[in-house]
Amino acid sequence: MILLLRHGETFWNRERRIQGHTESALTPQGERQAAAMARLVADLIKVEPGDWTLITSPIGRARQTADFVADATGLEPDVDHRLSEICCGEWEGQLWADISRRYPDAAGTGDQFFLAPGGETYDDVMGRASDWLGSLPPEPGRRVIAVSHGVWGRLLRGAYAELDRPATVVLPTPQDAIYRLQNGQIDRFDCAPVE
């Protein structure tokens, strides 16, 4: 089983600014989302006993979120660079509105992140996600909590479900839900609303 979380809301998420590998801290709302997800993770692992591992992207917003999970579960987070968000090259730090004006073909497509000059491609990120997935112990003994990012989590779920690219790039990327990947199924658990 894999419990997959995206980090909570960041200041750049709120501004609709492209993050990629660039750091942006969680907002107060993002901290509340991270705390709510952490409580839900703690509840979910209570009903699935076993040796759980907490793995996080090295990027600060994911690590902040993983710290909430660590506090709620008592697990020590391990860092794995394969869980890093897509590198968005020259677009990092820019507003989506500005990118949409300069690159109209990028606007509103699920593939928009993969068009950034100097950034990673779909195959680059899918390769990292698939490699990480393949390195895990087999089911049913697998017990992993992964804290990562929107694009990376989308591609991990696509790899797990063996979806094609068009279906993968439009998967939702909530910051207040957990995905459980188990026995070929993907289930979404929404957190209680945070204020």
Q: Which active-site residues does the annotation give?
A: 7, 85
Q: Establish whether the linkage from the previous residue to 137 is cis, with ω within 30° of 0.
A: no
Which tokens in the block code for residue 112? 């928009």
Q: Is the dihedral of CA 126, 32, 64, 38 positive or negative?
A: negative
Give the residue carrying structure tokens 């459980």.
Answer: 180
